[in-house]
């Protein structure tokens, strides 16, 4: 059962969080990959995935994820896979679109019959709207705001890894 962390990152924040998650989960993670180097076949070869995406340009996918969605995503099959999603956004700068880019990943996994683990509470965030809030009061994964709350990132990652570890053992 192989596990990969796969992220897209335009200014390095999501890459940093991917590395923090790798440090926390240690040997449970086999590979850490940038989405710009990944094909659908690569993604299909993992049973378990931890997928990281920042939201850009008012609710849009990060550019490398956008390319992956355009060229590869139709050939990915999440059926039977366990997936955890982490998203980066800016709740003060983009309160109408906070973490929106997590949603298309969530929707695709669910549509294919995969399982998304690692929901977190929306409680400590202040925003107006978020497509990542898939249930009342719940984001579909880990929410990180490096723009306004980078001092909370380490603790948020640790808590989340404690929550999801059992699914990746
Ligand atoms: C031009 C621009 C647009 C952004 N749009 C959004 C947005 O719509 N929603 C959001 O939550 N964050 C938005 N952000 C914040 C980024 O998601 C955040 O800075 C993130 O940490 C970037 O991650 P990266 O360095 O891995 O690319 C935006 C940032 C910039 C500079």
Question: Which residues approach ligand 1 with their CB closer than 6 A?
Answer: 9-14, 54-59, 62, 88-90, 94, 97-100, 146-147
User: Does 112 have pLDDT greater than 80?
Assistant: yes
Q: With the C-alpha atoms ordered 95, 101, 104, 110, is the resulting torsion angle positive or negative?
A: negative
23 vs 37: CA distance, rounded Å:
21
Domain encompassing residue 115: 3-168
Please give the distance, rounded to the nearest whole angstrom, from the Cα atom of residue 89 to the centre of ligand 1: 5
Q: CB–CB of 140/106 below 8 Å? A: yes
7 vs 18: CA distance, rounded Å:
7
8-36 pLDDT, tens digit each: 999 999 999 999 999 999 999 999 999 99
User: Does 114 have pLDDT greater than 90?
Assistant: yes
60-111 pLDDT, tens digit each: 999 999 999 999 999 999 999 999 999 999 999 999 999 999 999 999 999 9
Residue 1: per-residue pLDDT? 77
Into how many domains does the chain fold? 1
The CATH number linked to 101 is 3.40.50.360
């Amino acid at each position: 059962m192989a596990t990969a962390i796969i992220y897209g990152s335009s200014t390095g924040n999501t890459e940093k969080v991917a590395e923090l998650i790798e440090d926390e989960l240690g040997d449970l993670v086999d590979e850490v990959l940038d989405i710009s180097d990944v094909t659908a076949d690569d993604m299909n070869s993992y049973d378990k995935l931890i997928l990281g995406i920042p939201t850009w340009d008012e609710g849009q996918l990060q550019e490398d994820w956008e390319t992956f969605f355009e060229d590869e995503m139709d050939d990915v099959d999440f059926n039977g896979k366990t997936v955890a999603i982490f998203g980066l956004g800016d709740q003060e700068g983009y309160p109408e679109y906070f973490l929106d880019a997590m949603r298309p990943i969530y929707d695709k996994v669910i549509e294919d019959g995969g399982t998304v683990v690692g929901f977190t509470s929306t409680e400590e965030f202040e925003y107006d709207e978020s497509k990542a809030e898939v249930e009342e009061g719940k984001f579909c994964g880990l929410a990180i705001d490096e723009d306004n709350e980078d001092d909370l990132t380490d603790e948020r990652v640790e808590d989340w890894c404690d929550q999801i570890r059992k699914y990746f053992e």
